[in-house]
Amino acid sequence: MSAAEDLSLEYRPFSLDLVEPLETADGTIASRDGFLVRLVDEADDGSDGAGDEPAVGYGEATPLPGWTESREDCERALERAQEALRTDGPSEALEAVDRQVAARHALSLALADLQATRESTPLYRYLGQGPMVGRVPVNATIGDGSPDETVAAARAAVDRGFTTCKLKVGLRSVEDDIERVRRVREAVGDRIELRADANEAWTFEEAQSALEGFADCGVSILEQPLPAGALEGHADLRKESRGVSIALDEGLLEHGVDAICDAGAADVVVLKPMALGGIDVARQVAAWLSELEVAPLVTTTIDGVVARTGAVHLAAAIPDVPACGLATGDLLATDLGRDPVLIEKGSAVVPQAKGLGVADVWGDR
């Protein structure tokens, strides 16, 4: 960044309700509260001929209890970042929020959006320096409901063009979950990929029975069946997984890549940029996982349009990424602004405009 730059960080709170609460084994998500962040280069008066407006970058901090710092800690961290940016600069501001992952996510995303915008490059190419990517595959996210509700939601997703559905499981008995999955399989046919996410709900024995039943239903991936701490448990499950891939999500935050790979605990690892501290961090983790032959997959934490679009750019910077949990915009009743990402035929269409490609989220200027 240029020495002449004079970046200022602004943030404002938001609260977004879900259309209906998302039921998971780890609790119910009814609304997402966070902070929209904007970086403005006050030194850039547009007189360089690049445009009439100063360059702007957007970020989003949407903390989620259990996954990130609290909302209060996030707000304090953003306050610190604001001050550090004013007195010292971007690197110092990032350092000041190093341990508040949602706040760091917002600041790093805003910095990357600003820089990619200055370079007139879509964010995913600024991140990955890779080829043009038109689409990334995505899954539908289906909450833990009754068998009838689950079947209806899966049918609706398939009607909208999804070819992969991820079902939340683990709230009821394993037998009931197997029955739910069996009913969904019956309803959608053999060509739809089905995954399940237990959010740490099961004991080893329960996970064994679930795997057996799910394997018979052709489930492709079982995400986080055991508590995050159970590294060896997941490694043991993998040895009898009957073709079902084991994914770790919560486990990544607890153990990190090296421990997971050393233990042989996962076929797939879920990357949530909001929980990892930013798409820059998540991209490094993805590269390391690929090197160790574990597949990285990207999901949101049910975020607003700014963070969600950032996650789409991250997925587009990962070569051959499997279907990702990025089609979560429809779960929100309201959003921070217009969605630049079209979800179509089971894919997210990657924005090719400069930066994030998100506009009209701040309202003024």
Ligand X SMILES: O=C(O)CCC(=O)c1ccccc1C(=O)O
**Applying CB under 5 A, which residues contact Mg ion?**
197, 223, 249
300, 308 in Cβ contact below 8 A? yes
- One of 239, 272, 345, 354 is an active-site residue; which one? 272
Confirm whether residue 249 is marked as ligand binding.
Answer: yes
Confirm whether residue 280 is marked as ligand binding.
Answer: no
Range in contact with ligand X (rule: CB under 6 A) among 126-134, 231-239, 254-262, 295-303? 295-303
Confirm whether residue 17 is marked as ligand binding.
Answer: no
Question: Would you say 41 or 223 has its CB closer to ligand X?
Answer: 223
Question: Would you say 193 or 223 has its CB closer to Mg ion?
Answer: 223
Residue nearest ligand X, CB atom distance: 325
Token readout for 97 is: 């929020």
Question: Would you say 277 or 325 has its CB closer to ligand X?
Answer: 325
CB-based burial, 231-268: b 16+ in 10 Å, e otherwise: bebbbbbbeebeebbbbbbbbbbebebeebbebbbbbb
Nearest of 32, 22, 328, 31 to residue 149 by alpha carbon: 22
For position 302 contacting ligand X by CB under 6 A, the verdict is yes
- One of 166, 168, 239, 345 is an active-site residue; which one? 168
Q: Which one among 62, 141, 150, 220 touches ligand X, defined by CB under 6 A?
A: 141
Question: Would you say 270 or 305 has its CB closer to ligand X?
Answer: 270
The residues facing 194 across adjacent strands are 165, 219
Q: Of Mg ion, ligand X, none, which one does residue 117 interact with (CB within 5 to 8 Å by kind)?
A: none
Element (H, E) at 76: helix 71-87
Q: Which one among 62, 220, 301, 347 touches ligand X, defined by CB under 6 A?
A: 301
Q: Of Mg ion, ligand X, none, which one does residue 163 interact with (CB within 5 to 8 Å by kind)?
A: none
Backbone angles phi, psi at 69, to 5 degrees: -65, 165
Q: Of ligand X, Mg ion, none, which one does residue 300 interact with (CB within 5 to 8 Å by kind)?
A: ligand X
Residue nearest Mg ion, CB atom distance: 249
Site for ligand X in 189-248 (CB under 6 A): 197, 199
Question: Would you say 84 or 165 has its CB closer to ligand X?
Answer: 165
Give least dist CB 101 to ligand X, A: 13
Measured in whole angstroms, how far is the alpha carbon of residue 142 from the centre of its chain? 15
Count of alpha carbons within 13 Å of 67, Cβ hemisphere only?
A: 27
**Whether residue 272 lies in the annotated active site:** yes
Question: Would you say 125 or 272 has its CB closer to Mg ion?
Answer: 272
Coil, strand or helix at 327: coil
Coil, strand or helix at 279: helix
239-247 CB contacts, 8 Å cutoff, 24+ apart: 240/208, 240/211, 241/211, 241/215, 242/211, 242/212, 242/215, 243/215, 244/211, 244/214, 244/215, 244/219, 244/220, 245/220, 245/221, 246/221, 246/222, 247/195, 247/197, 247/221, 247/222, 247/223, 247/297
Instruction: Compute how many other C-beta atoms are within 10 angstroms of the C-beta atom of residue 107.
Output: 30
Give least dist CB 4 to Mg ion, A: 44
For position 164 contacting ligand X by CB under 6 A, the verdict is no
CA distance 105 to 11: 13
Token readout for 270 is: 């879920």
Range in contact with ligand X (rule: CB under 6 A) among 34-42, 90-98, 146-154, 293-301? 293-301
Q: Of ligand X, Mg ion, none, which one does residue 296 interact with (CB within 5 to 8 Å by kind)?
A: none
Binding site residue list: 197, 223, 249
Could you list the residues that contact ligand X (CB under 6 A)? Answer: 139, 141, 166, 197, 199, 249, 270, 299-302, 325, 328
Binding site residue list for Mg(2+): 197, 223, 249
Give me the active site residues, please.
168, 272
